[in-house]
Structure 1
Amino acid sequence: MTATPRITGRHALVSGGGSGVGRAIALALAGAGVNVTICGRREAALAEVASENDHIFGIVADVTDEADMIALHEKAEAARGPIDIVVANAGLSGSAPAHKTALVDWRHTIDVNLTGAFLTVKPALAGMAARKAGRIVFVASTAGLKGYAYVAPYVAAKHGVVGLMRALAVETAKSGITVNAVCPGFVETDMLEESVQRIVEKTGRSTGEARESLAAINPQGRFIQPEEVAEAVLWLCGDAARSITGQTISISGGETW
């Protein structure tokens, strides 16, 4: 995965590109000469990432709003041409025992992580099929491959993302499109810090103890770095991965496979 894929000049859309894994993916693609449209709900965060590379452009959009996502695709394509790559990355997580999970929280988690992934990809499918080329990568999670306690909505949503990926991979296999998912374990991002703080608040552990308990889930005893996820996505977008479709790539130090 160290060789730069031959993707210079292509156009990618990365949802949730204003921070964390999405930011790392946008920067990796832009570094390979890809024109990258990033979207999210925080204009300032998008602008900050865009300032890091001239190939990156930010557009405010809500992945749970179908009209918003259609407009995003139209605006991005009008400015920079057809979208060749879609990375559905936007997501969120909360924590509560299943019997204490409010329906509104369940629905919001499913809307952002699963429905949002679908709406991010849907507007690009017809154009990719007509051009007989395209790369779709879902940023799922090890929570799409196994269960975790106290995050039932998130686990359900990420399992749904993996199922969506597999369905689209079968549907598009003859059209020149590849569809895959990367499934990271705990990644060192703001979302991880939120998880750490929830553990501190609910258990009374120190921040260090909470971090150690999460890092220990990875057999390598460490947190995944956003750039590691970005490198896997970059490879999947290149010509060397043209035969890879319908796959889940676990980036977890051996936690899942």
Structure 2
Amino acid sequence: MEHSGKHALVTGGGTGIGLGIAMGLAKAGAEVTITGRNLERLENVASQHARLHALQMNVDDVASVQDGIASAAKARGPIAICVANAGIAEPARFAKETPDHWRAIMATNLDGVFFTFQAAMATLGREDWGRMIAISSIAGLRGLKGAIAYTASKHGVIGMIRGLSEEYMGSNLTFNAICPGYVDTPIVDRNAAQIAEYQGISEEEARGYLARGNRHKRLLETEEITATALWLCSDAARSVNGQSIQIAGGHVT
């Protein structure tokens, strides 16, 4: 119960990586606000644990983020742990990239992290303890073919983490990014379905193709990302700051 009495907020907390981290924090004693666009899904998830609390919020809408986080802080206290997880992964080759698609990816994956961190940190005092974690991707460290906007957005997240760690150096806040490879989540399911349709192969073959994108040739489990996030929130990681932690089955950068 290391985080008993703390208030955590996880964006995109109703599914996949976000759900795993939110549940892990709740089991560690934190009161966890989970956010997303689908309120029914969030409420169903929140019913699974007494310390999970649903909040409908769009991370690409600054007013939604500011109002939502302010209401969560009023109900459960300052946001001591903030996990900016919400993101979209929609591929598009550079020649066919459109301004609308580009902006949609940036609005969620990059702007959303900025809005979330800024609003969460506004709930904290100057001397307060805090852990700010962004879920980036190995695409934030190297190029990802056929996903230029996604790659750029995730690189931007890492730049933000590095800048924030410098700006708040010496405070009780740390800023870190987790950079997973392909994780067995609904996003991979959707991508596999798209690849299967595009290439005329089975979805199982498409999942195998994605798994080979990880160095150990298998999909990651959400539990691996959860364990890393919980470690970053622990006292043991108090001197880990401004880092991009790769989870991809082997050397990436």
Q: Which amino acid aligns with 1:86?
A: C
Q: Tell me the TM-score normalised to structure 1 length.
A: 0.95
CA–CA separation in structure 1 for the residues paired with 2:95 and 2:4: 49
Q: Which amino acid aligns with 1:27?
A: M
Q: Which amino acid aligns with 1:85?
A: I
1:195 maps to which residue? 191
1:246 maps to which residue? 242
CA–CA separation in structure 1 for the residues paired with 2:128 and 2:50: 28
The alignment partner of 1:128 has SS state of coil
1:82 maps to which residue? 78
Alpha-carbon spacing, 1:129–1:175, altered in 2? closer, same or farther (3 Å): farther
Please state if 1:32 is matched with 2:61.
no
CA–CA separation in structure 1 for the residues paired with 2:230 and 2:27: 10
Alpha-carbon spacing, 1:247–1:129, altered in 2? closer, same or farther (3 Å): farther
CA–CA separation in structure 1 for the residues paired with 2:92 and 2:118: 31
1:114 maps to which residue? 110
Cα contact 1:181–1:247 (8 A) shared by 2: yes
Unaligned runs of 5+ in 2: none
Q: Which has the higher contact order (CA 8 A, sep 6+)?
A: 1
Percent of aligned pairs with the same amino acid:
42
Report the number of matched residues: 253
CA–CA separation in structure 2 for the residues paired with 1:7 and 1:245: 19
Unaligned runs of 5+ in 1: none
CA–CA separation in structure 2 for the residues paired with 1:132 and 1:82: 9
Q: Which amino acid aligns with 1:226?
A: T
Q: Tell me the TM-score normalised to structure 2 length.
A: 0.97
Q: Over the residues paired in the alignment, what is the CA RMSD in angstroms? A: 1.2
2:41 maps to which residue? 45
CA–CA separation in structure 1 for the residues paired with 2:171 and 2:122: 10
CA–CA separation in structure 2 for the residues paired with 1:208 and 1:226: 19
CA–CA separation in structure 2 for the residues paired with 1:126 and 1:66: 14
Question: What does residue range 50-129 of structure 1 map to in structure 2 within 5 Å?
Answer: 50-128=46-124
Tell me which moved more, 171-180 or 125-134.
125-134
Please state if 1:216 is matched with 2:212.
yes
